[in-house]
A = this chain, B = another copy of it.
């Protein structure tokens, strides 16, 4: 089995599997069939069998998948056991929301500290995380290995901060600034988060549902006319 063959689409689906399998495990469930999993995830059973088939034969006929094994394998594939070290840049609304509500350790990351330019925040501790001055970012990176930077600075500052991160050996940027950051291939890896994507998807589906409802009403009206004729 060649691990190179896992497609980007499968990799993108793995966090979703992990999320739901963890919820199922927390509720005490041990095994699940691809059909059950399909109903929860909205992914077809063949797709699920294909995705999970990459990591060996977890499924047992008549029993389904053994949840602890798949969770362990997905965590391994996603590199969750490497104890990646993260810093957070920009402690405005979105940065603060992550600092206070997002459980980095749950995903195998340890959040070392935050950085901000606001002197009122610098030096304080938010949810157990120290906020340092943005002026000290470069010297901090020179002395500490950082795998991932969580970028929550204002849009206008995104590019400049990303350059400092890339030049100082940070390996990945989780970009939540709602602006696209392009970096030369082979340097730092960037995940550009666009929250609006989900909102636009919702808008599309509401439009489609309205269209389907309208079509159904028309069909019913036509049937009624035919019956009464």
Chain A interface residues (CB < 8 Å from chain B): 11-12, 14-16, 18-20, 23, 40, 77-80, 82, 84, 92-94, 96-98, 100-102, 104, 106-109, 147-148, 171-174, 178, 180, 182, 189, 191, 193-207, 209
The smallest beta-carbon distance between A182 and chain B, in angstroms, is 7
* C-alpha gap A102/B82 in the complex (Å): 34
Contact A189 B202 (CB under 8 A): yes
Extra A-B contacts (18), CB below 8 Å, given A102-B178, A172-B202: A12-B197, A14-B200, A15-B196, A79-B207, A84-B203, A92-B97, A93-B97, A94-B97, A102-B196, A104-B199, A106-B196, A109-B199, A172-B203, A173-B202, A174-B199, A191-B202, A193-B195, A193-B198
The smallest beta-carbon distance between A49 and chain B, in angstroms, is 19
Contact B171 A107 (CB under 8 A): no
